[in-house]
Amino acid sequence: MFVEYLLSIGVVALCTAISIPLRTTLAPPTFAMVYLLGVIAVSIRCRRPAAILNAVLSVTAFDYFCVPFHDSIFLEDSNYIVTLVAMLVVALVISTLTFKIRMQNAAVMKAEIAIQSERTRNSFLSAVSHDIRTPLASIYGAATTLLEEKDRLADSASNDLIESIADEAARLNRLVGKLLDMTRLDSGAELNQDWHPLEEIIGAALTRLETTLRGRIVRTNLPTELPLVYVDEVLMEQVFVNLLENAASYTPSGTPIDVAAMTDGTRLIVFVRDEGPGIPAGDEDRVFEKFFRGKTNGVRGAGLGLAICKAIMHRHQGSISASNREGGGTTIAIELPLRGTPPTVSAMSESAGA
């Protein structure tokens, strides 16, 4: 608030500095317009008390410096009293109306935020309710069949039902995990950053997805000279888990996935490429929005995987983008800034501990 008062006084001083050199050549009403422009500027930028202060000071400065006699509060012509009163009224009306407009704009923005929040909530409920109810229904159906028909089911049929329960439970667990990840990222939880080799993070992600990627060739091209990255290892591993899982879900079974990395000295850039149908034109940015799924072709999910990746990259001051590759397929590129100096890892002597 104190800064706004200083700004209010400063604008009056600026208007006065403009007016004084010209007061012998221009008519006083011209300077009234200069001060009123200052009133408008302060009313737009500052709160009501500062705007009212500017209006009163503007009229006072106009009277003292611009109305004959100059540099005096005495008026050469009593008709200027009307001018001063009118100017004060106009200035106060301007500040009041501008304040009301700002309040109305704030109310409109608040209403728009509330509407957007409601839309997001509805999208969340719609996406999550479907993706939770589907595996729950499958688990319930398989479990009920096992309980009611266990004596009449062949061993192979029983095993199929048990595998179905396990698969749907794992799917449900992944969904809940993504929801928790999104909540944690939105709440601004602190990152647990340290120096890590990129190949170890990607290797951990591949290990977690061993079942999902079974039957696929995952080709990695990670130069040995890649620098260590200063990241939250758990979150960055989740980025690659989501990207690889997404590539496996939206591409034909058996098609390869490529993971490659490079550095330009200031950034580490990692590409995850697949040979699927690609992204529809215009959806390259939307795929990173919460709950956006585009053409799913029967693929189940809540549309949170890439949104989580974007949130994690944002927390690391990095970026993520999607594009279609030549010849078909999708390329997801993530960029991490290279900051700081990685620790020096000294080789242990073979005789150490002997």
Question: What tens digit of pLDDT does each residue of 281-297 get?
Answer: 888 888 888 777 666 56
Read off the pLDDT of each residue in 124-129 and give the average, rounded to a whole number. 65
Residues of the chain with CATH 3.30.565.10: 193-337
Question: What tens digit of pLDDT does each residue of 132-178 get?
Answer: 777 888 898 889 988 888 778 888 888 889 988 988 888 788 777 77
Would you state the pLDDT for residue 168? 83
Query: Mean pLDDT for the chain?
Result: 84
The amino acid sitting at 102 is R
Q: Which tokens in the block code for residue 207? A: 């290990």
- What's this model's pTM, rounded to 2 decimal places? 0.56
Angle at 234 between CA 232 and CA 235, to 5 degrees: 70
Would you state the pLDDT for residue 88? 84
- For the chain, percent of residues with pLDDT exceeding 70: 89
Confidence of residue 45 (pLDDT cuts 50, 70, 90): confident
CA distance 276 to 297: 12
Which DSSP helix (H) or strand (E) runs through 321? strand 319-324
The amino acid sitting at 135 is P
Would you state the pLDDT for residue 268? 95
> How is domain 193-337 classified at the CATH fold level?
Heat Shock Protein 90 (3.30.565)
For the cut 80, the answer to whether the pLDDT of residue 73 exceeds it is no
Q: Does residue 71 or residue 309 have the better pLDDT?
A: 309
Would you state the pLDDT for residue 319? 94
